[in-house]
Structure 1
C-alpha cells in the first residue's frame, strides 16, 4: 500500500521499516528529508523576516537622503538618523543570518552566569553608563544547552532594551529555578507594545525593535518568554 506524504509533513518511516539494510537506508532518507525541510523552513523565515525587518530602516534612509542637498552639508540630526538606520540594518541582518544558518541549531552546554557576564562586559551601551546599579543573582553552577551566538544576541538585545527604555540606570538580573528574569524601572514614554512578546515596536531603536527577535530566538530554543509590568517596573522572564 502506497502512503502519500503531504508537502511540509514530517516523514516518519519508523513503523514501516524492517530491521535490515533497507531499514537503515530508509532511516538515512528520513534524516536527509528532515534536514532539507528544516533548511527550507529557515530559508522561508529568513525571506519573510528580511523584508519585514528592513522595511523601516530602509524607509528612513530613503526619506533622509531625499532631504539632502549636494550643496549643503547635512546637519547633526540628519547624520544621527542616517547612522541609526544603517546600524539597525546591520544588526538586523546579523540577527536574521544567525537564525537562518544551520550552525544556529548546534547546541552546547553553557554556564549561564559566564555568558551573562560576557554580554554585560562587552555591551557598548552599558559601558557608556557612568552611574548604573546592576544586581546579578545567578548561580555559578547553572548550565543550559544553547547556541552561544544566539544566546549572546538574545542577552544583548534584552540589556539594550532595558537601558533604552528604563527610567533609571538600574537593572536586576536573577535566576529562580529555571527562570531567568531581567527587570528595570520603566520610563514614562516607554512603548506599551514592549510588554507584548513578539510584537514589533516601530519606535524602538533596539536591534530587535522590541521583543520580536528575542521572541524568535526563544521559539527556536523552545523557551517560554513572558513579560509583565508591576509598580512601574518591567519584568522579562525566560523559562529554560
Structure 2
C-alpha cells in the first residue's frame, strides 16, 4: 500500500471515528432525555389515574369525568388486588407494540399504568437516520479531501523519490523546487546539495583522469623519444639517460601536483611567497618577469607549479612572444598575470576557455585541458580567474587571497 493511500486512510478514519463518536454520544444523550420523559409521563399518568379512583362499598370505582379526555397519550391501567384485576380502563398493552409499565400502590391495591412508547422509539430512530444521513456525505467528502490532501503531502516525496532513482542511475536530476513546509524545504535543499556534491565528485574524478593524461603526455613523449632513439643507436645511452630521468622526474612532479589537487582537505596548503618562487622557477623559461615586492598566499608548491606551467603553455602555444608574467598586490588579493602578444580570443569564446576539451577555431592541436586545470587549481586555492583581450594578446589574471606574512 502506498504512502498516499495510507495517509488518505488516516485522514478518512479521523473524521469517521469523530463522527461515530459524536453520533453515539448524541444518541445516548437523546435516549437519556427520552427515558426521562417516559418516566415523567408515566408518573404523571399514574398520579392522574390515582386521583380519579375512589373507594366505595362495592369496591374501587372511577370518579365522574373521563381521565382519558384531553390527553394525547395512549395508555391504560389496571387495579389489582393481589393477582386478581378488579378494575381496568384505557388501552391494554399489545404484543406488537412497545409499552412501558409503572406499578404503584393505592389503598392496598396495586396500580399498574402502561404507556405506549412507540412515538418515543420512532423519535430515536429518526435521530439516528438524520445523523447517518448527515454523516455519510461528510465521510464521503472527508475521503475526497483526505485523498487530495495526502496527494498534496506526498507529491514532493514522489518527486524526491524519482530524483533519488535518477541519481542512483547517475542521471542527475534538475534541482527540486523548495517547498513551503520547513521540514520538506530542508530535505529538498539537502538533496539538491547532495546532487551537486555527487556531480562535483564525479566531475573531479573524470577531470582527474583527463588532467593526468594531459599532463603526462609531454614527459611520456620525451621518454619514449629518447628510449627509441637510444634503441636504434641514433644517440648513445649516456646521452639519453639524463633526458629520460628528467622526464621521469617531470611525471613524478605532475602526479604529485594532481594528487594535491584531488585532495578536498585544506591541510596540505601552507603560507607561500610567490615572488621568490616565480623568480626561481621562471629563470630559464623565456618570459619577461615583473615582480612588485613579496606576495604571501596560502597555497601548495605543486599546485602553483601546475597553475603557472599551464598558463605558460597556453600563452606560448596559443599566443605569441613576448610572454609577460606580473605579480602585484591589489587590495586584499595577490594578482598573478600572464600575458602574451598574440591575436587574443574571440569575445564569445572567453566564457568557454575553461571547459574541458574546448579548443578555439584554427588553434594549435591540443587536448583543451590546460585552462580547465588552471581553473580547478584557482578554485582549490580560493581565488578567481579572469580573461581579457590585451590588444594584442590575451591577459589571464589569477586573484588569490593575500596573507600579510609567512607567520599569518
Residue 335 of structure 2 is matched in structure 1 by 180
Query: Residue 121 of structure 1 is aligned with which of 260, 273, 276?
Result: 276
Deviation string, structure 1 residues 29-51 (Cα, Å, up to 9, x no partner): 55555433332221121122223
Structure number with greater CO (CA < 8 Å, separation at least 6) is 1
Give the distance between the partners of 2:379 and 2:185, measured in 1 at CA: 33
Whether the aligned pair in 2 keeps the contact of 1:68 and 1:74 (CA below 8 Å) is yes
What 5-or-longer segments of structure 1 have no aligned partner?
187-191, 204-208
TM-score relative to the length of structure 2: 0.37
Q: Secondary structure at the match of 1:81?
A: helix
Whether the aligned pair in 1 keeps the contact of 2:321 and 2:340 (CA below 8 Å) is yes
Residue 91 of structure 1 is matched in structure 2 by 253
Residue 64 of structure 1 is matched in structure 2 by 226
Q: Secondary structure at the match of 1:8?
A: coil
CA RMSD in angstroms comes to 5.1
Residue 9 of structure 1 is matched in structure 2 by 173
Q: Out of 173-182 and 82-91, give the one that drifted further.
A: 173-182
What 5-or-longer segments of structure 2 have no aligned partner?
1-154, 401-408
Q: Secondary structure at the match of 1:97?
A: helix
1:33-52 correspondence to structure 2 within 5 Å: 33-52=195-214
Give the distance between the partners of 1:74 and 1:39, measured in 2 at CA: 44
Q: Secondary structure at the match of 1:103?
A: coil
Question: Of the two, which has the highest radius of gyration?
Answer: 2
Residue 225 of structure 1 is matched in structure 2 by 386
TM-score relative to the length of structure 1: 0.56
Give the distance between the partners of 1:55 and 1:185, measured in 2 at CA: 24
Q: Secondary structure at the match of 1:46?
A: helix
Give the distance between the partners of 2:230 and 2:372, measured in 1 at CA: 32
Residue 5 of structure 2 is matched in structure 1 by none
Whether the aligned pair in 2 keeps the contact of 1:119 and 1:156 (CA below 8 Å) is no
Equivalent residue pairs, number: 211
- Going from structure 1 to structure 2, the CA distance change for 1:33 and 1:159 (only over 3 Å counts) comes to closer
Deviation string, structure 1 residues 48-80 (Cα, Å, up to 9, x no partner): 22233323322332232122249985243x334
Q: Secondary structure at the match of 1:68?
A: helix
